């Protein structure tokens, strides 16, 4: 009975593949999904920043002084 | 995997094996690494503290959450590995190239900030744990920083990877500790599969802890780290199935280790030990559970911090190097990639130096980590999800399947909700009963 011999090459020693490249593609196409996702992300970041700002003012005592 | 009959390839490279099974095992061993490292390094000092706190405060009640988080960790990191293999580039570079400078800078600055603050907590843990073992922070902290630098400046990715895998495997000791404290295994099994509300109901601290566990199990730096690591290791298209297995093994191992940490914390809960950090618990456990448990927890805390520090600092150095267009590889010697190594060394050195400043406000650092992580995690995952649907870049072969998208959008919505809940709770502390 014969067994096949294989040579297994480590990725670092192997010939480099041609990967999916962004060359010449520019920015991502603004499909509806991309537009909505980035819009939600912007809204989320604004909401978080406002909440954080409120928290900082609250901790500094400025809000209590105003009452 | 590029496998070919022996006579067809360069005789000097690769390993000759006999038979299909040997070929598969050898191939897997060559690809293995990034998945385990990214997952286990996530069990860093902050995670040890969170999981032990969960066990110490709520016993076994939150074990089920880890089981829920296991597939979530896997799904997210599988996408990262796929994107890394398909493009051969890091996550920061991809965001810059496909979403432009504004989003690129936002992601990078947020990542660098949260990573740096996390590094401070890692060194604080090293200081705390080794102080409990009688070693001065003025020795332990600089010593660790030097050791962590030496690990990466050897000019060999593989050497770094082997050291880090060995450190990951040291976490097997958590299982020994979990057995030594004799939990009730039937209870463990029941709590792992059935969610239960602890006595006292849904309180503010319970909600906070649930969010902290989610936040510590899925961290933003992991996305950047694994993609860069996969690119650094030059994994090939055919390696994807092995990279997936690596990631799955990493996810299962990490969640089991996290469970073991909770069991040790639960031992403290059963003995009504109040503690602020794992080092305090370790010292209190000494007289009850023995020196092995005491020293084991302290040394594993250091191991967790070391793992976290090297992975997080590398995530920063890779991301910054990619965006700056510098050489950014562990294959390079120190003088061949000065900017990349300088970023790593600056992160490690500055975080270590800050911890040595007397009365540094660590609590403020921990809160800042949560705020930044809360900001970056949902956004980083959105970019990941959009990139994995970028047919123009990836083609049909690598993009998400419809079921991937359903799962991932669900995860994103839950993460956004938890993030907003965390913010609401910080601002309105009376949102839930104390």
> Do B316 and B116 touch, CB atoms closer than 8 A?
yes
**Positive or negative: CA dihedral B179, B182, B183, B189:** positive
* Average pLDDT of the segment spanning B41-55: 92
Question: Which structural domain, as residue segments, surrounds residue A42?
Answer: 27-66
Instruction: Write down the pTM of the prediction.
Output: 0.91
Domain range list for chain B: 31-427
Query: So what's the pLDDT on residue B170?
Result: 97
Query: What's the pLDDT tens digit per position in B355-367?
Result: 999 887 776 777 6
What is the tens place of the pLDDT at every residue in B176-220?
999 999 999 999 999 999 988 888 788 877 887 888 888 888 888
Task: Report the percent of chain A where pLDDT is more than 90.
Answer: 27
Phi and psi angles of residue B4, each rounded to the nearest 5 degrees, phi first:
-145, 165
3-state secondary structure labels for all residues of chain B: CCEEEHHHCCCCCCEEEECHHHHHHHHHHHHCCHHHHHHHCCCCHHHHHHHHHHHHHHCCCCHHHHHHHHHHHHHHHHHHHHHHHHHCCCHHHHHHHHHHHHHHHHHHHHHHHHHHHHHHHHHHHHHHHHHHCCCCHHHHHHHHHHHHHHHHCCCCHHHHHHHHHHHHHHCCHHHHHHHHCCCCHHHHHHHHHCCCCCCCCCCHHHHHHHHHHHHHHCCHHHHHHHHHHHHHCCCCHHHHHHHHHHHHHHHHHHHHHHHHHHHHHHHHHHCCCCCCCHHHHHHHHHHHHCHHHHHHHHHHHHHHHHHHHHHHHHHHHHHHHHHHCCCCCCCCCCCCCHHHHHHHHHHHHHHHHHHHCCCCCHHHHHHHHHHHHHHHHHHHHHHHHHHCCCHHHHHHHHCCCHHHHHHHHHHHHHHHHHHHHHHHHHHCCCCCCC
Which of the four CATH numbers 1.20.200.10, 3.30.460.80, 3.30.2290.10, 1.20.1740.10 does domain B31-427 have? 1.20.1740.10
Q: Report the distance separating Cα B97 and Cα B294, nearest Å.
A: 49
Q: Which residues of chain B lie closer than 8 angstroms to A57, CB-CB?
A: none
Residues of A within 8 A of B375 (CB-CB) are 45, 48
- Chains A, B: CB contacts under 8 A, how many? 143
Give the least confident one: B277-291, B374-388, B403-417.
Answer: B374-388
**The pLDDT value given to residue B4:** 41
Q: Which of residues 22-61 of A touch B (CB under 8 A)?
A: 22, 25, 27-29, 33-34, 37-38, 40-41, 44-45, 47-48, 51-52, 54-55, 58
Mean predicted confidence (pLDDT) in B324-352: 94
Mean pLDDT, range B282-287, rounded to an integer: 92
Contacts of B209 (CB under 8 A, 6+ apart): B50, B53, B54, B57, B58, B62
In this structure, of B71-80, B203-212, B295-304, the range with the lowest mean pLDDT score is B203-212
Mean pLDDT, residues B10-36 = 90
Residue B311 and residue B38 in contact, taking contact as beta carbons nearer than 8 Å? yes
Quick one: closest CA in A to B382, which residue? Answer: A37
Whether pLDDT at A34 is above 50: yes
Structural domain total, chain A: 1
Residues 6+ apart with CB under 8 A from B63: B188, B191, B192, B259, B262
pLDDT digits 0-9 by tens, B300-334: 999 999 999 999 999 999 999 999 989 999 999 99
CB pair distance less than 8 Å for A6 and B23: yes
Does the residue A12 lie in any domain?
no
Categorize the per-residue pLDDT at B7 as very low, low, confident or very high, splitting at 50, 70 and 90: very low
Q: Where are the alpha helices (DSSP H) in chain A?
A: 32-60, 62-66
DSSP symbol at A27: S
């Amino acid at each position: 009975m014969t067994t096949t011999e294989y040579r297994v090459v480590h990725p670092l020693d192997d010939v480099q593949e041609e990967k999916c490249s962004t060359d010449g593609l520019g920015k991502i196409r603004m499909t509806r999904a991309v537009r909505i996702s980035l819009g939600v992300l912007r809204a989320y970041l604004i909401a978080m920043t406002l909440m954080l700002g409120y928290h900082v003012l609250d901790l500094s005592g400025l809000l209590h002084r105003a009452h | 995997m590029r496998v070919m009959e022996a006579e067809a390839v360069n005789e000097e490279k690769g390993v000759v094996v006999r038979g299909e099974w040997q070929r598969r095992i050898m191939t897997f061993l060559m690809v293995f690494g990034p998945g385990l490292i990214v997952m286990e390094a996530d069990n860093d000092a902050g995670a040890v503290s969170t999981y032990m706190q969960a066990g110490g405060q709520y016993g076994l009640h939150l074990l089920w959450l880890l089981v829920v988080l296991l597939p979530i960790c896997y799904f997210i990191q599988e996408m990262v590995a796929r994107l890394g293999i398909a493009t051969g580039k890091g996550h920061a570079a991809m965001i810059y190239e496909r979403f432009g400078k504004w989003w690129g800078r936002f992601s990078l600055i947020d990542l660098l900030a949260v990573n740096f603050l996390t590094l401070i907590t890692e060194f604080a843990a090293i200081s705390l744990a080794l102080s409990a073992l009688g070693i001065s922070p003025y020795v332990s902290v600089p010593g660790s920083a030097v050791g962590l630098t030496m690990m990466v400046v050897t000019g060999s990715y593989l050497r770094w990877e082997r050291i880090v895998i060995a450190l990951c495997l040291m976490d097997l000791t958590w299982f020994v500790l979990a057995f030594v404290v004799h939990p009730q295994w039937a209870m463990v099994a029941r709590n792992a599969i059935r969610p239960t509300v602890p006595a006292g109901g849904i309180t503010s601290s319970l909600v906070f802890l649930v969010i902290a566990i989610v936040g510590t199990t899925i961290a933003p730096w992991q996305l950047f780290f694994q993609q860069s690591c996969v690119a650094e290791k030059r994994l090939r298209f055919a390696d994807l199935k092995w990279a997936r297995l690596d990631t799955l093994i990493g996810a299962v191992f990490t969640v089991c280790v996290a469970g073991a940490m909770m069991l040790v914390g639960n031992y403290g809960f059963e003995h009504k030990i109040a503690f602020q950090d794992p080092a305090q618990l370790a010292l209190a456990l000494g007289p009850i559970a023995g020196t092995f448990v005491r020293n084991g927890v302290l040394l594993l805390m250091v191991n967790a911090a070391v793992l976290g520090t090297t992975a997080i600092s590398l995530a920063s150095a890779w991301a910054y190097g990619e965006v700056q267009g510098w050489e950014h590889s562990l294959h390079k010697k120190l003088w061949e990639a000065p900017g990349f190594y300088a970023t790593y060394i600056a992160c490690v050195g500055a975080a270590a130096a800050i911890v040595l400043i007397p009365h540094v406000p660590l609590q403020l650092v921990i809160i800042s980590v949560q705020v930044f992580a809360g900001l970056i995690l949902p956004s980083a995952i959105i970019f990941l999800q959009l990139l994995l649907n970028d047919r123009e870049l990836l083609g049909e072969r690598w993009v998400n399947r419809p079921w991937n998208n359903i799962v991932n959008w669900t995860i994103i919505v839950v993460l956004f909700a938890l993030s907003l809940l965390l913010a609401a709770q910080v601002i309105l502390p009376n949102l839930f009963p104390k």
